[in-house]
Amino acid sequence: MKPSDTPKTYRVKSFGCQMNVYDGERMAELLDAKGIKPAAEGEDADLVVLNTCHIREKATEKVYSDIGRIEKAGREAGKKPMIAVAGCVAQAEGEEIMARAPAVGMVVGPQAYHRLGDMLDRAVKGERSTDTDMPEDAKFAALPKRRKVSPTAFLTVQEGCDKFCTYCVVPYTRGAEISRPYSDLVDEAAKLVDAGAREVTLLGQNVNAWSGEDDKGRLQGLDGLIRELAKLPDLKRIRYTTSHPNDMTEGLIAAHGEVDKLMPYLHLPVQSGSDRVLKAMNRSHTAESYLKVLDRVRAARPDIALSGDFIVGFPGETDAEFEETLSLIDAVGYAAAFSFKYSPRPGTPAATMDGQIAPEVMDERLQRLQAHLNRDQLAFNEASVGKTCDVLIERKGRKPGQWLGKSPWLQSVFFDSDLQIGDMVRAELVHAGPSSLQGRLLETVSA
Ligand code: 5AD
Ligand code: SF4
């Protein structure tokens, strides 16, 4: 690679989960701190960071085609943009990317991106570098301070996963479970609130497995952290995602009934309703134990909106086992959900299991599953009509004069009133659609 000028503009493109969105924001802050500016909308950036996701289908091919597209746009503009590949594809396939894509100057894994600045200095000198180390916990301390944020902010509290579900690549790309220290998190949350955040979503692959010592040396679980953050006066809402059923502690369930700022929404993936499939997935819970957890959560917070993740077509899944998943869905009545066709991930145990399911069977199962989920989501939204609730305004809607915010139950609510980003408004929910509601503004509670 030839030496080049220090880039003046950057763009970070994040794919996949909310953890990647958070990492993307932190990489942007790091580049800001080096005096590089975000490229304007539509402008070709001098440096493009592809913050990739490896969880499902064709992730790697997508990265190569993105690289090709960036190179082509650069050629047409007479430029040679610098390209960095970050995220989970970088972690899993870093060496290969370096070998196959000469245009890529930097490959950096999710646990090493605090070193992106140094890698950039080397890239300017013409040196390509790969960093997929997993140094323990050094990253957050080395990152620059939080900058101005939107009214809703993400805060990564826990990373990695020790659960080793047999289909999942996360334990390999994100590494072992680590919890960030309590005081760092209280500090970062306070800074986010000072910078304008009114809602903070605590993030982790297994966020409810977070634990840490508080300032008095007592061991706290996620509920202890939530109770502490709830003391920040200008923080109005707390959410967390994603959780494992086995880590739903008594304390966390109780917090749902006791902490007003903890929003009535729980994303609790189950993946399948068949105990045989759950065992083959190494989920370490059964359909029944999962439903029992939900019963306890509902007892603590009766209006809670429940959400889940589902995989159809796990190797060996029979029609009857798939039907068990539909029965579980019918028993729960989810307010929202994410559903996927099983995708073999290289290096995971399930990828080499017997009984891989034909694509057309997966398609058909996914369609049937989603019909059940869509039915329940619409029913949940329809049952909300007539309710009065607070909505935090997040952005303009697509139509002129339209504003969009979230209800406590994480539903999108549209308004045709003159509002501002960051307003907390009191609203009546007047009309329900499959994925959003119309709100009628009653009053602005706070701005
Ligand atoms: N194939 C399909 N879906 C997957 N997920 C994770 N790994 C795979 C895979 N190999 C889904 C799970 C998980 C969500 C984040 O992605 O449902 O909860
Ligand atoms: Fe993947 Fe299972 Fe860990 Fe979730 S709990 S990140 S699905 S291994």
The residue among 81, 22, 77 whose CA lies nearest residue 47 is 81
**Would you state the structure tokens that stand for residue 377, as one six-digit string?**
């989501």
The span from the CA of 218 to the CA of 49, in Å, is: 40
The span from the CA of 358 to the CA of 345, in Å, is: 16
The residue among 419, 426, 430, 431 whose CA lies nearest residue 443 is 426
Nearest ligand by distance to the CA of 171: 2
Element (H, E) at 432: strand 424-432
The residue among 33, 40, 58, 38 whose CA lies nearest residue 49 is 38
Q: Which ligand 2 atom minimizes the distance to the CA of 169?
A: 1
pLDDT at position 160 is 93
Ligand 2 centroid, distance to 248 Cα (angstroms): 15
Q: Which ligand 2 atom minimizes the distance to the CA of 309?
A: 7
pLDDT at position 136 is 66
Domain boundary assignment for the chain: 9-131, 139-384, 388-446
Q: Which ligand 1 atom minimizes the distance to the CA of 271?
A: 17
DSSP-assigned letters across all residues of 306-356:
EEEEEEE--TT--HHHHHHHHHHHHHH--SEEEEEE--PPTTSGGGG-S-P
Element (H, E) at 124: helix 116-124
Task: For residue 131, give every residue at least 6 positions away whose Cβ sits within 8 Å of its Cβ, in sequence order, or none.
Answer: 107, 108, 109, 112, 115, 119
Q: Do domains 9-131 and 139-384 have the same CATH topology?
A: no
Q: Which ligand 2 atom minimizes the distance to the CA of 206?
A: 5
**Residues β-bridged to residue 356:** none
Cα angle for residues 270, 259, 406 (degrees, 5° grid):
65
Counting ligand 1 atoms within 8 A of each CB, the residue from 19, 55, 203 with the most, and so the one to mutate, is 55
Ligand 2 centroid, distance to 169 Cα (angstroms): 8
pLDDT at position 137 is 61
pLDDT 10s digit of each residue in the chain, 447 long?
777 888 999 999 999 889 999 999 999 999 999 999 999 988 889 999 999 999 887 778 889 999 999 999 988 888 889 999 999 999 999 999 999 999 999 999 999 999 999 999 999 999 999 999 987 667 888 888 887 678 999 999 999 999 999 999 999 998 999 999 999 999 999 999 999 999 999 999 999 999 999 999 999 999 999 999 999 999 999 999 999 999 999 999 999 999 999 999 999 999 999 999 999 999 999 999 999 999 999 999 999 999 999 999 999 999 999 999 999 999 999 999 999 999 999 999 999 999 999 999 999 999 999 999 999 999 999 999 999 999 999 999 988 889 999 999 999 999 998 899 999 999 999 999 999 999 999 999 876
- Protein residue with least CA distance to atom 4, ligand 2: 205
pLDDT at position 58 is 79
- Protein residue with least CA distance to atom 6, ligand 1: 168
Please give all residues whose beta carbon lies within 6 A of any atom in ligand 2, as ranges.
Answer: 161, 163-165, 168, 170-171, 205-206, 244
Ligand 1 centroid, distance to 24 Cα (angstroms): 21
> What secondary structure letter does DSSP report for 271?
B
Q: Which ligand 1 atom minimizes the distance to the CA of 57?
A: 1
User: Is the CA virtual torsion 270, 273, 278, 279 positive or negative?
Assistant: positive
Fold of 9-131: Rossmann fold (3.40.50)
Task: For residue 157, give every residue at least 6 positions away whose Cβ sits within 8 Å of its Cβ, in sequence order, or none.
Answer: 179, 180, 185, 202, 203, 204, 207, 210, 222, 225, 240
* Residue 98 CB neighbour total at 10 angstroms: 18
- Residues 407-435 as b or e (16 or more Cβ within 10 Å = b): bbbbbbbbbebebebbbbbebebeebeee
CATH tag, 139-384: 3.80.30.20
Ligand 1 centroid, distance to 370 Cα (angstroms): 16
Check if the beta carbon of residue 294 is closer than 8 Å to that of residue 335: no
260: left (phi over 0), alpha (psi -120 to 50) or beta: alpha
- Protein residue with least CA distance to atom 17, ligand 1: 309
Fold of 388-446: OB fold (Dihydrolipoamide Acetyltransferase, E2P) (2.40.50)
Q: Which ligand 1 atom minimizes the distance to the CA of 309?
A: 17
pLDDT at position 5 is 84
Please give all residues whose beta carbon lies within 6 A of any atom in ligand 1, as ranges.
Answer: 55-56, 167-168, 269, 271, 309, 311, 340, 342-343, 345
**Would you state the structure tokens that stand for residue 329, as one six-digit string?**
């869905």
The span from the CA of 351 to the CA of 348, in Å, is: 6
The residue among 424, 431, 390 whose CA lies nearest residue 407 is 390
- Protein residue with least CA distance to atom 18, ligand 1: 309
Nearest ligand by distance to the CA of 366: 1
Ligand 2 centroid, distance to 163 Cα (angstroms): 6
Check if the beta carbon of residue 200 is closer than 8 Å to that of residue 382: no
Ligand 1 centroid, distance to 311 Cα (angstroms): 6
Nearest ligand by distance to the CA of 340: 1
The residue among 111, 118, 89, 113 whose CA lies nearest residue 101 is 89
Q: What are phi and psi of 259, to 5 degrees?
A: -100, 105
- Protein residue with least CA distance to atom 1, ligand 2: 168
**CB burial of residue 19 (10 Å; 0-12, 13-18, 19+):** buried
Nearest ligand by distance to the CA of 165: 2
**CB burial of residue 443 (10 Å; 0-12, 13-18, 19+):** exposed
Nearest ligand by distance to the CA of 54: 1
